[in-house]
Structure 1
Amino acid sequence: MENRIENAIMGALVADSYALGVHWIYDTAQLDEMRYDWGALHAPIAPWHEGKRKGDFTHYGDQMVWLVEYLQRCESFDSNAYAQFWRQKMQSYKGYIDGASKAAMHALEEGNPPACGPASADLSIVGRIAPLVTCGNDVNTF
């Protein structure tokens, strides 16, 4: 791939897949004691990713893929249209659904747009927005 934007998105997805194995394990002593090959993909150890297998994405990666799919179909970003696209994906999603996603789903079900900005200090959204740089006029600026 010669396109740096595509490389950035692919890099984010590869990192997400590599992170799946130890996602949500914050105990550094536990991490130190694990016999874990940090250079390989792993199925998740934590219970919140039930059904996920080695090579899958976390819920963050899944949602980034949805954003890429949306942008490939629409070629521009419309927050209201994307909210409906995202809602359809979430209605059949089998992975972990975090608090921010639950709140957004509730708002959409009530006919309201999701609130802007997170209610917590969690910056997980940063990991899902890389595809938005494809909306720029000049891909060479990245």
Structure 2
Amino acid sequence: MSQQAFKAHSLLGAFVADAASLGLHWLYDVDRIHHVTQEHDDSAAFVPLTPSYFEGVPAYFAHANRQDGQFTQYGENLHLVLKHLLAHDKHLKMDEFQQAFAAHFGAGGTYNGYIDRPTRGTLENIANEKLTPSGVDDDQLPALSKIPAVLFAYEQSEQMQDQVEAIIRSTNDNEESVAYGFLFADLLDRVANGEDLQSALSAAADAAHPDIQEKLLAALSASETDSIAYGESTGRACHLGMGVPLSFHILKNTGSYREAIEANILAGGDSAGRSILIGTVLGAIHGLDTDKGIPLSWILKVQNNAELWQECCDLAGYNER
């Protein structure tokens, strides 16, 4: 598979994983998730948005204004930066991006959905012209959501690391967020360049900032191979110190795109936040492979899927014909 195909499939993998997670996002009760999946052909992916699933258990129904097949705020962030890069010849123009961010997520904007803490704080900073950077001190998973598009736009460029850090700090001006963001970028760069997944996970963990390394190595060496159960050790919430180690555990212990995305949703909590990392990595590795890749039936459930695939191809420079 060509580098361009890797990139296009990787981006598509992130979007499909995010949309697949929407219906059960922020449902923390894994028993409830299990019972719901039994009602939907034993699949946790693309479960229809249903408020009653979130009642009477630890959960937060955040997506009342979303529709099945749409993205959570994580996928919206990735899509926004992807479109920005396409409009600016694959260059990140931070002033213009901040304007686009405010126009999309701000009051009266094109996005109709949940606004998380980093997004809300970033909108306030942009409104107050605090722009360098515009992010807030926050250690949650939105820090990772925009990285894949920027990484692929600047790959093999001396600017790549600076631009990855800039897009992280555009919403999450926090040292732990930068450390986890560089880890994600390193892992994705490794698999996109042909390194096998298990070696890439180990190498990325070994190269990670010392402050985050221990949790990653623990996830990769855990004797517990069930990621639902391992989520009790990491926690299932939005913080990077919970979500990234659990994502590493899922990647370590699953064998296909479908299995990993299902395991991620079944693990509960901020499944959509984790889905960007997991879906991007496995989209790059497995692509559209019939057995292990992104299922066609899932792609077809994503709204505007044909246009989205073309955008992924355009950023990747991939002409599939």
Normalised to the residue count of structure 1, the TM-score between the two structures is: 0.84
Partner of 1:60: 74
Matches within 5 A, 1:19-30: 19-30=21-32
Aligned AA (2:48): A
Partner of 2:103: 88
- How many residues get paired? 141
Deviates more, 1:80-89 or 1:99-108: 80-89
Deviates more, 1:50-59 or 1:100-109: 50-59
Matches within 5 A, 1:97-112: 97-112=115-130
Partner of 1:70: 84
Contact 1:104 1:115 in 2 (8 A): no
RMSD: 2.4
Contact 1:107 1:114 in 2 (8 A): no
Measure, in 2, the Cα distance between the counterparts of 1:120 and 1:136: 25
Question: Which SS does the other structure have where 1:76 is aligned?
Answer: coil
Measure, in 1, the Cα distance between the counterparts of 2:144 and 2:155: 21
Measure, in 2, the Cα distance between the counterparts of 1:19 and 1:115: 30
Q: Deviations over 1:93-140 (max 9, x none)?
A: 21110011000000011111165665333123213321112322559x
Describe the shift of the 1:70–1:138 C-alpha distance in structure 2 as closer, same or farther (beyond 3 A): same
Identity of aligned residues (%): 21
Contact 2:121 2:136 in 1 (8 A): no
Contact 1:48 1:96 in 2 (8 A): yes
Contiguous gaps of at least 5 residues in structure 2: 55-60, 158-188, 193-321
Deviates more, 1:129-138 or 1:106-115: 129-138
- Deviating beyond 6 angstroms after TM superposition, the runs of 4 or more aligned structure 1 residues are none
Describe the shift of the 1:109–1:116 C-alpha distance in structure 2 as closer, same or farther (beyond 3 A): closer
Normalised to the residue count of structure 2, the TM-score between the two structures is: 0.40
Contact 2:118 2:135 in 1 (8 A): no
Measure, in 2, the Cα distance between the counterparts of 1:53 and 1:23: 13
Contact 1:5 1:133 in 2 (8 A): no
Partner of 2:137: 119
Q: Deviations over 1:4-60 (max 9, x none)?
A: 111111000000011111101011122122234426423334531112222111111
Partner of 1:41: 46
Contiguous gaps of at least 5 residues in structure 1: none
Deviates more, 1:47-56 or 1:103-112: 47-56
Question: Which SS does the other structure have where 1:95 is aligned?
Answer: coil
Measure, in 1, the Cα distance between the counterparts of 2:132 and 2:123: 8
Give the greater-gyration-radius structure (CA): 2
Matches within 5 A, 1:120-139: 120-136=138-154, 138=156
Aligned AA (1:66): L
Describe the shift of the 1:41–1:79 C-alpha distance in structure 2 as closer, same or farther (beyond 3 A): same
Measure, in 1, the Cα distance between the counterparts of 2:67 and 2:96: 31
Measure, in 2, the Cα distance between the counterparts of 1:111 and 1:117: 12
Measure, in 2, the Cα distance between the counterparts of 1:9 and 1:137: 14
Partner of 1:79: 94
Aligned AA (1:53): Q
